[in-house]
Amino acid sequence: MDASRKNWLYRRPVASALVGVVALGMLSLLPPRATTARSVAENGAISGRARVIDGDTLEIEGRHVRLEGIDAPETGQTCGRRLIGRWNCGAAAAERLANLIAKRAVSCESRGNDKYGRMLGICYVEGRDINAELVREGLAWAFVKYSQTYVRQEAEARARRVGIWQGEAEPAWVYREKRWAGAEQVAPKGCAIKGNVTEHGHIYHMPWSPWYGKVKIEEAKGERWFCSEAEAVAAGWRPASVQ
Clarify whether 81 is annotated catalytic: no
pLDDT of residue 7: 47
Contact criterion met (CB below 8 Å) for 107 and 123: yes
Q: Is the pLDDT of residue 13 over 70?
A: no
Which residues on adjacent β-strands are paired with residue 50?
Answer: 60
Q: Residues 121-147: what's their mean pLDDT?
A: 97
pLDDT of residue 179: 95
Catalytic residue among 68, 74, 137, 170: 74
What is the Cα–Cα distance from 79 to 32, expressed in whole angstroms?
44
Place 2 in a pLDDT band, splitting at 50, 70 and 90: low
Strands 119-125, 63-67: pairing kind = parallel
Look at residues 104, 128, 105, 120 and name the one whose alpha carbon lies nearest to residue 44. Answer: 120
Can you give the pLDDT at residue 82? 82
Strands (DSSP E) found in 23-129: 46-48, 50-54, 57-60, 63-67, 70-71, 79-80, 86-87, 106-113, 119-125, 128-129
pLDDT of residue 242: 78
Could you confirm whether 66 is annotated as catalytic?
A: yes
Of 59, 68, 96, 118, the catalytic one is 118
- End-to-end CA, the chain: 84
Q: Give which of 155, 161, 205, 163 is closest to 183, Cα–Cα.
A: 205
pLDDT at 43: 55
At residue 175 the predicted structure's pLDDT band, cuts being 50, 70 and 90, is very high
pLDDT digits (tens, 9 = 90+) for 179-200: 999 999 999 999 999 999 999 8
Average pLDDT taken over every residue of the chain: 85
In this predicted structure, what is the pLDDT of residue 15?
43
Exactly one of 59, 66, 111, 179 is catalytic; name it: 66
Instruction: Answer yes or no: 12 catalytic.
Output: no
Structural domain 41-170, CATH architecture: Beta Barrel (2.40)
- Those residues whose C-beta lies under 8 Å from the C-beta of residue 73, and which sit 6 or more positions away, are 55, 79, 89, 90, 92, 93, 139, 140, 164, 169, 172, 175
The model carries a pTM of 0.77
Domains of the chain, by residue range, sit at 41-170, 173-239
Alpha carbons 160 and 236: distance in angstroms, whole number: 43
Question: What pLDDT is recorded for position 89?
Answer: 97
Count the Cβ atoms, other than its own, within 10 Å of residue 107.
Answer: 18
Banded model confidence at residue 8, pLDDT cuts 50, 70, 90: very low
Cα dihedral across residues 96, 243, 208, 114: positive or negative: negative
